[in-house]
Structure formats: C-alpha cells, structure tokens
Structure 1
C-alpha cells in the first residue's frame, strides 16, 4: 500500500498520462477526512453513476445526496472522456467490502479476477474501502444498454494507469465496485478483466508517446519530447528543446525570464522550472529547478528537431 497523492501530484499524474482534466472549484480540499482514515491506498475503483448529463452528474457526485454526503468519488469521467475532479482525500464511493479482495489487490496475486466478494457495507468482517481506494464515477445508466463510448473507456484506462504508474502498481490494483462488494454491479457494460489488460499494456508504454491515430481520425496534437535525462540540463547546453521547454513554462505561468526563453540553459530556465515543480506540489530538493521525469512528462513539451 502507499501514501495517497496530494492534490497537485494527483493532478500532475493524470495530466502526464494525457488525461483531459476539468477542476471543479474547491476539489483540492473537498473530502470526508473528518470521519475516517484516508490511506494508505491500495488501488483504484471504477463505478457507474446511474445518471445522465455531465453537469448534473458532477454536481451530484460533488454534493452527494440524502444519507450519503459528497464527495462520492475523486473524479467523474464523462462520456466524452473528460475527467472532472471533485475531491481529494477520503470519498464516499467504495463503502465496506471483502478483506480477501483487498489482500488480493495489495499483493496483486489473483488471476483474471479477484476472489468473489462475500461481504458488503454493514456485514460482519467487512473492511473500509473508502480509506483504501481512489474512486472514479463514470457517467452511465448502469443498465447494460447505455453505451460506453471509446473516449470514456480510454479515459478510464488513462486515469487507472496514471495512478498505478505514480505508485508503482500493476493493473491488478484496478478493480470494479462489483469486485469489492457482493451488493454491487458496477461498472456494468464492460469487463474489468479487459480493462486491466488495457491498463497493463499502457503501463508498458511511454505515456508521452500517443498511439498512432486510426485512418480518418482528427489530427492529433504535436508529438511530445521524451525526457532527455537530468544531465542534459547543464550550463552551456544549447538546444531547441530548451526553448520549447521555456515556452511551455511561460504558458503555465511559471516564467522567471526577463526577455523570454532561448536555446541555451541558463539560471532563468532553472528558476522557471523550479516554479513549475512547486506548482506540481514538489518541495525542497525535489524542486531544485532541474527537470525530472514526472514533472517533465506533466509539462508536455513538444518534440523539436535536433
């Protein structure tokens, strides 16, 4: 198990995986930490909302409803693949579940599926899932007929991989609510074993390199530059990549430049990058202004010619 990611690192992990994120006002401090533990975390849990409409579903998950106050998850995944962040900390999404499932997720020792759950909220021996899992609610009626668009399934894959990558987990740390509690059926309409296969495949790839677009697809954003290593960023280094990095830092509001970025690595680049690291939540020696792989991937620097 692992220490939960603070809000800024959670956001950075999602963005680094290519997730399209919308930040709901107040999400960074919206939680249920006052009623129970948050962490250590063991995995990611996927749900369906039994609702339609993005705005109304996001508001429902943010506020909750009678008998179940919000947040009801950490992020709401819309039909178009946009992920709306609504909470950071303990959320009312998992409830109590099967301890054997939790152990199987922690050890990642199960096969296609975790052991069948035999416990639920209120049953003797059930364990608290709200303290152990990140939760994502996906907008879907949950009737087995409401479609799951490709964009939405890709977003589920991406958010799951992002958190697995951040914590060093494999895809067996991603489960559906129906695999946690014997009272639940969500998500209904796609199989979690197939989704875990997708997540594991993604974890074997560089998130900064998108897959080739299918024929007839809309033009994709520019390819992103791979992290060149910390030793690349040293006094005297001159490269178009440094200019591209500087322009992204300016776009993110992290400029310490007096006359704009250029190709030669300077103290202004280091100070600007340190601002970016602090924006992501890094502190102390982790915000020294020298790019690292996590912060670099989150910055999304476009690839340049050599």
Structure 2
C-alpha cells in the first residue's frame, strides 16, 4: 500500500532530482484531508493552470476560488522551472475520473480511454499545475518541460514506480484537455529515460511532441507574433524564418495538387491513346516547369513585398 510521502520526504525527493523548490506559506499542513483521505497513492497527474504569471498562479492554486477551495494541487511549476509547493495531503486537482484508468496506472500498462467519472482522483494522485494558458499557443519553455519531467520522476523514484504512473488530466477525466500543448506519451518517455539514471543526473531531453496543436498552427501563431513585433518596432513587416516556412508550405501544397492533376491528365491521355509518348513527355515537362516557375515567382514576390 503506497502511503503519502511526508512533507520532508517530498521536498527532499524533488530537490534530489535537481529541482529548485520554493515552500509557499504553510504548504506542509495545507490540504483538504477533512473532505476525505489522501492515499493510497498510485500516480502523478499533470495539469495546466489556464493562467499567466507565476505569483498569481501560485496564489490561485494555494487559495482556490469560490467554487473550488484550495489547495488545487501539490506543486505549481513555473515557466522558469521553479516548483512552488502549495499543498501536502489531499488537494482539489483531479476530481472524479475513470476507474479503468486508475487500474491501468496501478498496473503500469497502456491507458484505456477515459469514458467514465466514477473514482476519486484527489485521493490517489499527486498533482502538479503548470503555468500555461492552455490555448495551444502559450509556449512551454524547455526549463518548464524539464521541471515537469523531474517532478514526476522524483515522486515515481520515491515509490519505485515507472513512468507509466504519470498521466495527464485529459487522460483521467472525460472532457478535460490539460495539459494542452505537448504529448504525454513523449513526457512519459522523458520520465522513463530519467528514471534509468541516478537522481539528479543530467540527461538529453527527448524532443517534445505537440498534442492537438499542429506544427503549422504553431508556426502561423509565431509568424503572426513576429509580424506584430516588427511592425511595432520598425513600421514595416520584416521577413522571418517562420513566415517563410508557412508561405513555402502553402505553395508546396499548391504545387503538389497541380502535379497530381497533371499526372491524372497524362494517365488518361496515355490510356486513351490520344497522344504518343513524345507528346506525353513534352506535356509533363512543360507542366512541371510552369508549376516550379510559379512557386519561384511567388517566393520572390514574398521577399520583395516584405
């Protein structure tokens, strides 16, 4: 039976993993234990705060709000990677989730889909709220992602759990989307790699993958932000890498569609016997040259307009 870590053991585990930890107010005795037990514990759950700014996020997670009293987690992970401890014991972070998911976490096997809300997650999970708006656009700095990895690994190491004991809120409770902006599968891979080395070791992070935010959405968002800054600072739009990639991506897709249509036309002509081999080859080459010229002209014009 996995009993909760004492405040001292939790603090030591996090610091031994190489984390900068801040003890916020009376976190050691701040909990919701009067509403139910904390334990047996079986895993770690990751969330995003839907807020910005470290101090206000920490205070919100400590105090809670009118409809959900605090503490709202055990630790708040800031964008610079600092972990602020705000609760010790039962906290209001997980809510009701799927008992099938809990059993999978306990067995450390592949998670089933979360289609029920029938089990008290606040009793069984440590919770970390990570400062992020959760809109799919707010960035996840490398320092923050590393701190999430370390915090989860610290608790898993303390209990002898594997990386499969860490889940996202979206994997526990139907309708939840947090943490949004990175893949929990990739995060678990990072945690697994860390657990394979001594606590506090330096590791090479596995490149994080996005979840439901496509790469082009991220590039477009970054390009829009760069455009806004350049106009504000110089009065004109300055070309940037992300904008160039976005533009090239669109033009390449157009080119692919044109080549696809050309191929279909040539195939039809060949099957129908309307042209001989030389004429088919000439038509294909002319079409390809025209498409490439259009792509080149468009990119040139983009540079000039910028």
Do the structures match in fold with TM over 0.5? yes
What's the counterpart of residue 143 of structure 2?
Answer: 151
For residues 46-85 of structure 1, the aligned pairs below 5 Å read 46-85=46-85
Instruction: State the structure with bigger RCO (CA 8 A, min sep 6), 1 or 2.
Output: 1
Cα distance in 2 for partners of 1:208, 1:202 equals 9
Offset at 1:67?
Answer: 1.1
| CA shift in 2, pair 1:212/1:188, >3 Å | closer
Q: Distance in 2 between matches of 1:109 and 1:51?
A: 32
Counterpart Cα distance in 2 of 1:201 and 1:89:
28
Query: What is aligned with 2:271?
Result: none
3-state SS, counterpart of residue 131 of structure 1 = helix
Q: Tell me, yes or no, if the aligned pair for 2:194 and 2:203 is still in contact at 8 Å.
A: no
1:116 maps to 113
CA–CA distance in structure 2, aligned partners of residues 208 and 158 of structure 1: 9
Displacement of 1:206: 1.4
Aligned residues: 205
Consecutive unaligned residues in structure 2, runs of 5 or more: 206-306
- Find the aligned partners of 1:25 and 1:140 in 2 and give their Cα distance: 23
Report what 1:22 is aligned to: 22
Distance 1:16 1:158 in 2: 10
State the secondary structure of the residue aligned to 2:31. Answer: coil
Q: Distance in 1 between matches of 2:46 and 2:91?
A: 13
Partners of 1:5 and 1:189 lie apart in 2 by: 30
1:165 paired with 2:162, answer no
Post-superposition CA distance 1:19-78 (Å, at most 9, x none): 110110100000000000100000000000000000000000000001100000000000
Between Structure 1 and Structure 2, which shows a larger proportion of helix residues?
Answer: 2
Q: 1:198 aligns with which of 190, 200, 206?
A: 190
Structure-2 change in CA distance of 1:208 and 1:47 (3 Å) = closer
User: Which whole-Å deviations, capped at 9, do the CAs of 1:175-215 have from their partners, x for residues lacking one?
Assistant: 000000112000000000000000000000112432479xx
2:177 aligned partner: 185
SS at match of 1:91: coil
Q: Structure 1 residues 107 and 78, CA, compared in 2 at 3 Å: closer, same or farther? A: same
The TM-score, its normalising length taken from structure 2, stands at 0.66
Q: CA RMSD in A?
A: 1.2
CA–CA distance in structure 2, aligned partners of residues 68 and 14 of structure 1: 27
CA deviation profile, 1:94-141 (whole Å, cap 9, x unmatched): 00000000000000121xxx1110123xxxxx1000000000000000
Larger radius of gyration: 2
SS at match of 1:175: strand
CA distance in 1, matches of 2:203, 2:124: 32
Name 1:209's counterpart in structure 2: 201
Match of 2:133 among 130, 141, 162: 141
Match of 1:104 in 2: 104
- Structure 1 segments, 4+ long, off by >4 Å, are none
